Amino acid sequence: MEEPISYYDWEKGTYHHKNEQKSELAEIGVEKAELKEFLSTWTKRNLKKE
- Bridge partner residues of 7 (DSSP): 16
Nearest 5°: the CA angle 1, 24, 38 is 165
Cα–Cα distance, 5 to 33 (Å, whole number): 29
Number of domains in the chain: 1
Residue ranges of E strands in the chain: 6-9, 14-17
Cα–Cα distance, 17 to 37 (Å, whole number): 29
Domain that holds residue 50: 19-50
The pLDDT assigned to 32 comes to 83
- Inside any domain, residue 34: yes
Query: Regarding predicted confidence, which is higher, 44 or 9?
Result: 44
Cα–Cα distance, 26 to 32 (Å, whole number): 10
The pLDDT assigned to 46 comes to 84
- Inside any domain, residue 2: no
Q: What is the pLDDT of residues 14-48, one digit of tens each?
A: 776 666 556 666 677 778 888 889 888 888 888 87
pLDDT tier, 4 (very low <50, low <70, confident <90, very high otherwise):
low
pLDDT of 1 above 60: no
